[in-house]
Amino acid sequence: MSDYFKTFRAFGLPSVTPTMGPFPLEDTFGMGVAVCLLRRSLDAGKNAATIQFSTARKFRTAYSNAYHASRHLCGVSTMAFEASKLYTTPCPTYSYWFHRFMLGCHKRMGDKVVQDYALSRGILIELLKQLEDDYDNAGGEEEKDAIVEFAVLLLVGFLLGLRGEEIMKTDISGLLKYLDVGAGAETFPHVVVPLIGRLKGGLGERYHMLIMARVTRSGIQAGKWMDRLCLSLVRRDMWNGFVFQGKKGQQRKIGSYDSQFVERLERVQETMGCLFEPGIDVTDAYGLRRSLRRGSTTEAGNLKIDERVVNMNNRWRKWEEARGRRPSMTMASHYTEVRLSLPVLWEYSYSF
């Protein structure tokens, strides 16, 4: 810097660098939020000694949302040209200093990504064999109901490529309504798996109708397990709500099935260890939140399923992410629309 100062003096100029202070006697940079965020980053994490950056940064999000929901919203201005809009805000956590602070935090904290292993088709088949044996040897209807429910969870997640939390949206009324319709189809026998999406006020439920083949190319009997599930639901006088529900009718969390999933995987590993990587700990490696979805995607690539078929199977996510922009329709209207694409939608699950 001394060379720069010599140059200034040679021209008889004062320093051209900006004045470095004094700063105002108030927090205009978001220093308070930064300190709290650093303290939050020291909390214990699930997969490491401390929480990840992706968790710590939620502190900033919470502050920003609260700021823009308060009276300070009056300080936000808008610049617009045609369809483009740009908002300016005095929120401290949007300042240049805070942006650099968050960037530095991310670089120093890093990311530790722990992904669930993909569940292979071979492991799924062994799990279904195990469930079939347990079903035949079950001591009562309640035990059979639990076995059927878990088998359907695995089939819906794997054959339709769903994440764990998406499986939990499966609806009873739609499943029962279209069970016989799909089973009686001559060319593409299928099961309709309806997921309940966001609700549209006054226009009915927002449904996503997914198609699952009753029998896959490798012989997976999805239809048989679905028939068992529907008989169980009718016997228990359950006609509405979520298929996977708690004692009070509330939607269950996918995590509530994790212990059973791991226990059954360990049993498969004992008899068919060749299906797993040597020395793998299934407790840490597999989870229902992502293993079924990743396994389905991986196997779809191995089987060289046409990309058009994969995209059609996943298109409902785009509608869900549109946050209500797609007009809501009745369940019957949804199924009528789905029937037009039935051969393509059916092919994804049938290929396994």
281-294: pLDDT as tens digits:
898 889 999 999 99
> Would you tell me how many other CB atoms lie within 10 Å of the CB of residue 55?
14
Q: In terms of pLDDT, which residue wins out, 315 or 133? A: 133
Band the pLDDT of 29: cuts 50, 70, 90: confident
Band the pLDDT of 145: cuts 50, 70, 90: very high
Which pLDDT belongs to residue 200? Answer: 35
Cα–Cα distance between 133 and 271 in angstroms, integer?
14
Is residue 160 over pLDDT 80?
yes
The overall average pLDDT reported for the chain is 85
The whole-number average pLDDT for the span 137-145 is 93
C-beta separation of 64 from 72 below 8 A: no
226-253: pLDDT as tens digits:
999 999 999 999 998 899 998 888 899 9
Is residue 330 over pLDDT 70?
no
73-121: pLDDT as tens digits:
887 888 888 878 888 888 999 999 999 999 999 999 887 766 789 999 9
Is residue 323 over pLDDT 80?
no
**Token duo for residue 204:** 């009915």
Which pLDDT belongs to residue 6? Answer: 75
Domains (ranges, CATH) in the chain?
27-109 (no CATH), 121-350 (1.10.443)
The whole-number average pLDDT for the span 211-220 is 93
C-beta separation of 284 from 116 below 8 A: no
> Would you tell me how many other CB atoms lie within 10 Å of the CB of residue 36?
13
Which pLDDT belongs to residue 61? Answer: 93
**Token duo for residue 159:** 């054959």
Cα–Cα distance between 257 and 230 in angstroms, integer?
20
